[in-house]
Structure 1
């Protein structure tokens, strides 16, 4: 007390020289620095929470920024030029090609899916076929293992053309370099393994490994026919070294020169748009989880500040008794806490800044760009989040000292005062939290999802406060029992200064997030790997030409008579107008923008599909022969803001077709059956070249042996048909989902770790009063066993209440995300959900008893002398 009184007198002397006896910032800063000379004892949880949250946000933001900047920086190499023009199902005309060449150097590349296999035909493999010309690649180099010139490897030699492939193809097809492959109707020699393909990312998602051949062999394969699903890509390297403005101008000139052409033009700035979008979405999701961890840590900040101020209670009371202004303790300790927060933020930024250098090599296979570097904007935002969190959660307990009289402060150890801070402090806390939420939403890629996330976190905070009040009220009204341990446990829950609010808040937020992520992950996996394989067909057949359709029906009837074969015509078309308004100018929901990007699969039918139900309108007669009509997917029509009676214009192979919407349908995409957003009346597409799409399903789902035998037979009999085995496609999806799942689990583990730190801090904050209680009870004859039993029961009751809330709130959050955002049916999964709840009980009990054991070991005499 002596040193505290001396400091107080010194402060009083300094304050006497300030106008109107108000505390100057200089004086308060001097006090704060003097206090910090004693070290950071008591702020371990505070620092850990700040470091953890800031490091997560800074690291995720830096990695995402590094990836997106790397894609932009390497855009020319990734795209294969300054511009890329893609045509589906047909090549550019001589006039169009001449225009491309007037802009600069041009390379023509054809891409399609096909089946390749060794001559023994034992292991046919789906490949992403790429047929290149002699100019490929315009930018960068294609590396082959062991070296070699690409043109020579693909050229004709000894009467056979060559090919190079990714290593995965060799494993899938069970072939080796030097083997002869069967590709469609052609035979080629595998001459090398691709080590690096410069423009691989620009092609987007793939179902199979790359197989690269020369365009000279493409005709011999007979894979490309009128209506085939082949993409013709024209990479253009503009003359000179044009800036981004000149590249954009050149891109805009192409559709202006050929307004009726159905192509998609991309610049080097959007070399991998889908990947870029996915990176930003995923980074945003992980950032929001990191922000949740930071807010959960904010509870730890509040607990740590409360515990620290409790230790400074006598100093604050002495200052007030000696006439110090009421604001002085608040200003002093706010400066002190923000300095400590600054230390934690600096450490967190250092860790976050190091993450791109660590993650770069690990992500090189996913995004082959250099992401190592410092990203000041993302580090600055993480620092802002950290300071706002520390300020908002520290100000409330600090403001309480402004409102409490010196005598009440002295009594606080035995009769805690539960006064609220003045209104100005509450307003400041609210403003800080609103700014925090505003930044999270305003800077988000998808603001709707961010708003839902932030709103859910805020609602969880409010509800957890009510849960704590409810548990306290129930404990206060509980009937009196004979057991001393039970009475003590229940009394500890509702007494003044109880740990109930801190435990419920700290554990509840982390558990809610954990349960929701567990249920989202479990339901998504159940749908993808459980429900879908049971209802999905076993095979998809692409690019079925006219004569081959009958041949496929015959083959199936002879070899798998019990299997169900469905077939429908398939074309590609791009929506150009909605209700007479150009598609790019139409006001639609952002979620439906994908429908207008590029070409969509379309079909026609005289009769309504069996697996689609009409929600509005009527189907046309089977013999209809009037103006073009179209049936549209109901959900997508709503997002596009069109309906019955509206018109829609589609560009099919350069021909504009305008049709009236006469019906809306439900589409079950999860079934993986043949579905199309647009189904036209047959007369609308009369004369257009088309291929057919087919599915084959076994009544009992089919075995692996049955499917593999059928695959080998159909590829041998009909080599020009592309066959996709659904189980292999799902395996590819499994790998992607598993990688995403590990990242989400890692982020959620950060939040859980923050909850554990906060929980430990909550027990530490209440240890002072626990020591007093334990010593008094032991002096009155209570045994250590009875006290441990009472404390264990208290922690179990609080953990159970929090677990119930976490289960309910987490389930509701998962139901909303799955239904409203992911369009996946929700089912409560008891094992993972109850496992998370059990984890909450264990953590509460372990942390509680660990702190209690230390409390029970305190000597009575020193404590009793200070009461």
Structure 2
């Protein structure tokens, strides 16, 4: 205990002298902790916002939805037994203005009493009932501003949805349950349920949905109500949610973004950890005289270690504390600036758990990178210290064990807080491999500089000699800068490839326009109308297929067990699928197993199925499956498996049946076309006269919207990745600061020996610029290697290299490190030679 007390006394005395030698140490820790704390706190604010408004987002305590049909009397009775019920129904349809302008909209009718929770925000009407009231001119509607602007509508104007007239009586500014309903293809039109149910676009075979929202009595558990409802409707294909699952898509996106941004923060912390290592090593070198005196006076090695361990622990706590304060403040500032423009509700506040996680990451990183240098202070003899030798080998030490355990703790904490263990393991492995490769390249650069310096003369030789020397910046700066460039290049390449897919590849391979709800008996007339608007039709520019939706309810004679299907592949078994019936094998059918049925086949039902969907359910050619289509079950056998290019120009249906399987069914058609924007607008207007019920979906417009959304999301990711670049620059600054005294002596000697100022500056630029170039090239290669599987395997997009972006990153890495060399040289040259050379 007396020894420990003495260690605290010595540590306190040294800390009273200030933290000048630990500024880089503090900055590196603070930057990484700030990134993790800010990302986690912002995500928690969104989660709390969703939870606080879950009832409003869902529109009640329980929501039940069905597709392509209305609720049965038995289902309505079951809902009524639970509590107060309101209904909503709708789908997509074409809105037409008096001047002929047309736009796809999402029309929704609501019953009296809507909404059960929250408020509908309107402009131009005193309330929802007045806005939706029926008048001699037609039923009223509340219309989103985007549609008012697109169709040049004013309040009081009449417009068509399909072939039914509505009156714009209010501007629809917001609905409490909008987020819970998910993505919409067009602006929203809100009207009464009676007006929608009497419209043709709610008829049999159309793509519509009905939802019941239920307000439970006070104190009733929604989960128990859902369980009771599932027991009352065991065979009905309905989707039931409670307020705990109000917006699953938004929640999953927040979870993934939290982890991804937090992982970039962790990578920044690891990059900064090299700066921590260098700062501790440099500080101990400045204290070697004190350590030598302590040991010469009889202090044991553990006492010397404890003195500096206490200092490092105190400063680590300070650095982590700074990071936590800044990280907690960033979401509060963000909330004050953009709170009203966020698409997801958020409650910005200080949340202890995210901060505790970030603090634990920071402390473990500090331990992992600062313990090893302490072994030198403990194990090195007083004689070697007095000989200015602090670089002795100390072997495998308790400090090394502690550093390894801290590193394992970092990995374990990352896995424990990850939403996906496989994803987390892959990222940890990628960072570990990257650091190992960059460390090896740093050593290789040192070796290579030593071999190359004999081939050049003057400042170039001096710069390479410094790069090969014991104080070379390549040893610490290369891994840190390289990791920063790797993260930034991965983000840039993923973003550029996906944007290229949206802006260039998809428009070439996907249709420009999709037509839905083509009446069965008027399909050929519709083809003629399209030909009149866009010219002669051929399979390269126009294709039409019968269309229906259905659900896979059985596999190999047994009901679908969704829990046995991986979550990433469950989409085909959780929802209705797009189906078609096709006789002769179409062009680009993509059959990979089995074979297509003959054109005149009239036997038992056969299906051509997406190979990925079949693999998810464990199906192969010859197996059976049960499809529920138009209210009846169809037992079919898999005749062919196909590679489906979803979103491509062709029959991109998950399941295709032979025509005899649905003979006599009321099928509508869907068509796809390629055309320029001018023909698209003209055809959209002309179809409004003869085919008002046909929906025109502009794929081009949806791609442009997706690109804009992706750009905004990518901005946050790029900003987070920029933190890694800051960490790399801090490590470079630490490397420069650690060798400042030695560089000053070197510059003084060179000036005394007659070297010109220009020559010394060039030598430093060569040394540090080479570090940046090596780190940049290695980081860009590692970033490309990391980005390729994400683009090709995860997003299934075409890989494209953004050479301009990579060149900019390389130029920035080399330029910034070269500028660091200029700063180091200027600092060394600013001091007069005589005082520098007189210093011991």
TM-score by length of 2: 0.96
Q: Does 1:525 align with 2:499?
A: yes
Q: For 1:282, what is the secondary structure of its paired residue?
A: helix
Q: For 1:161, what is the secondary structure of its paired residue?
A: strand
Q: Does 1:118 align with 2:92?
A: no
**Which residue pairs with 2:68 in the alignment?**
89
**Aligned-pair distance for 1:266?**
0.9
What are the Cα deviations for residues 515-537 of structure 1, in whole angstroms up to 9, with x where unaligned? 11111111111111111112221
**Aligned-pair distance for 1:720?**
0.8
**Aligned-pair distance for 1:87?**
0.6
Give the whole-Å Cα distance in 2 for the aligned partners of 1:470 and 1:27. 44
Identify which of 382, 387, 404 aligns with 2:363.
387
Identify which of 526, 533, 536 aligns with 1:552.
526
Q: Does 1:770 align with 2:729?
A: no
Q: 1:592-631 residue pairs with structure 2 within 5 A?
A: 592-631=569-608
Q: Does 1:466 align with 2:440?
A: yes
Q: 1:376-525 residue pairs with structure 2 within 5 A?
A: 376-412=352-388, 417=391, 419=393, 422-478=396-452, 480-481=454-455, 483-525=457-499
* Shift in CA distance, 307/146, structure 1 to aligned 2, threshold 3 Å: farther
**Which residue pairs with 1:5 in the alignment?**
none
**Aligned-pair distance for 1:82?**
1.1
**Which residue pairs with 1:535 in the alignment?**
509
Give the whole-Å Cα distance in 1 for the aligned partners of 2:46 and 2:453. 61
Q: Does 1:332 align with 2:311?
A: no
Q: Does 1:170 align with 2:144?
A: no
2:442 and 2:475 in contact (8 A); partners too = yes
Q: Does 1:345 align with 2:324?
A: no
Q: Does 1:203 align with 2:181?
A: yes
**Aligned-pair distance for 1:232?**
0.7
Identify which of 654, 666, 670 aligns with 1:693.
670
* Shift in CA distance, 767/158, structure 1 to aligned 2, threshold 3 Å: same
1:532 and 1:672 in contact (8 A); partners too = no
**Aligned-pair distance for 1:650?**
3.1
Give the whole-Å Cα distance in 2 for the aligned partners of 1:171 and 1:674. 35
Q: 1:639-654 residue pairs with structure 2 within 5 A?
A: 639-654=616-631
1:67 and 1:367 in contact (8 A); partners too = no
Give the whole-Å Cα distance in 2 for the aligned partners of 1:581 and 1:428. 55
**Structure 2: runs of 5 or more not aligned:** none
Q: 1:465-864 residue pairs with structure 2 within 5 A?
A: 465-478=439-452, 480-481=454-455, 483-563=457-537, 564-580=541-557, 582-671=559-648, 673-698=650-675, 702=676, 704-864=677-837
Q: Which region of structure 1 is more displaced relative to structure 2, 152-161 or 88-97?
A: 152-161
**Aligned-pair distance for 1:586?**
4.6
2:86 and 2:213 in contact (8 A); partners too = yes
* Shift in CA distance, 654/670, structure 1 to aligned 2, threshold 3 Å: closer
1:464 and 1:505 in contact (8 A); partners too = yes
1:110 and 1:131 in contact (8 A); partners too = yes
**Which residue pairs with 2:31 in the alignment?**
52
Give the whole-Å Cα distance in 1 for the aligned partners of 2:693 and 2:144. 22
1:633 and 1:665 in contact (8 A); partners too = yes
**Which residue pairs with 1:228 in the alignment?**
206
**Aligned-pair distance for 1:638?**
3.2
Q: For 2:276, what is the secondary structure of its paired residue?
A: helix
1:116 and 1:127 in contact (8 A); partners too = yes
**Aligned-pair distance for 1:839?**
0.7
What are the Cα deviations for residues 129-152 of structure 1, in whole angstroms up to 9, with x where unaligned? 111111211222212125512112
**Aligned-pair distance for 1:274?**
1.0
* Shift in CA distance, 322/655, structure 1 to aligned 2, threshold 3 Å: farther
Give the whole-Å Cα distance in 1 for the aligned partners of 2:272 and 2:178. 42
* Shift in CA distance, 663/549, structure 1 to aligned 2, threshold 3 Å: same
Identify which of 285, 290, 311 aligns with 1:310.
285
Q: For 2:653, what is the secondary structure of its paired residue?
A: coil
2:90 and 2:196 in contact (8 A); partners too = no
1:185 and 1:220 in contact (8 A); partners too = no
Identify which of 213, 218, 238 aligns with 1:240.
218
**Aligned-pair distance for 1:501?**
0.8
What are the Cα deviations for residues 489-530 of structure 1, in whole angstroms up to 9, with x where unaligned? 121112223222112112111011111111111111111111
Q: Does 1:66 align with 2:45?
A: yes
**Aligned-pair distance for 1:254?**
2.6
**Which residue pairs with 2:133 in the alignment?**
155
**Aligned-pair distance for 1:418?**
5.3
Give the whole-Å Cα distance in 2 for the aligned partners of 1:646 and 1:433. 50
2:155 and 2:168 in contact (8 A); partners too = yes
* Shift in CA distance, 652/250, structure 1 to aligned 2, threshold 3 Å: farther
Q: Does 1:295 align with 2:270?
A: yes
1:262 and 1:651 in contact (8 A); partners too = no
What are the Cα deviations for residues 192-220 of structure 1, in whole angstroms up to 9, with x where unaligned? 11222111111101222111111222255
2:43 and 2:255 in contact (8 A); partners too = yes
Q: Which region of structure 1 is more displaced relative to structure 2, 325-334 or 94-103?
A: 325-334
Give the whole-Å Cα distance in 2 for the aligned partners of 1:202 and 1:256. 24
1:573 and 1:652 in contact (8 A); partners too = yes
* Shift in CA distance, 299/114, structure 1 to aligned 2, threshold 3 Å: same
Give the whole-Å Cα distance in 1 for the aligned partners of 2:584 and 2:735. 67
**Which residue pairs with 1:11 in the alignment?**
none
1:499 and 1:766 in contact (8 A); partners too = no
2:124 and 2:155 in contact (8 A); partners too = no
**Aligned-pair distance for 1:479?**
5.8
Q: Which region of structure 1 is more displaced relative to structure 2, 624-633 or 29-38?
A: 624-633
**Aligned-pair distance for 1:420?**
5.0
* Shift in CA distance, 559/784, structure 1 to aligned 2, threshold 3 Å: closer
Q: Does 1:255 align with 2:230?
A: yes
Give the whole-Å Cα distance in 2 for the aligned partners of 1:82 and 1:482. 77
* Shift in CA distance, 425/576, structure 1 to aligned 2, threshold 3 Å: farther
Give the whole-Å Cα distance in 2 for the aligned partners of 1:863 and 1:579. 85
**Which residue pairs with 1:108 in the alignment?**
87
1:207 and 1:732 in contact (8 A); partners too = no
- Report how many residues are paired: 836
- Superposed CA RMSD: 2.1
2:459 and 2:760 in contact (8 A); partners too = yes
**Which residue pairs with 1:13 in the alignment?**
none
* Shift in CA distance, 772/403, structure 1 to aligned 2, threshold 3 Å: farther
**Aligned-pair distance for 1:241?**
3.0
1:416 and 1:496 in contact (8 A); partners too = no
Give the whole-Å Cα distance in 2 for the aligned partners of 1:456 and 1:58. 22
**Aligned-pair distance for 1:368?**
4.6
Q: For 1:713, what is the secondary structure of its paired residue?
A: helix
**Which residue pairs with 2:245 in the alignment?**
270
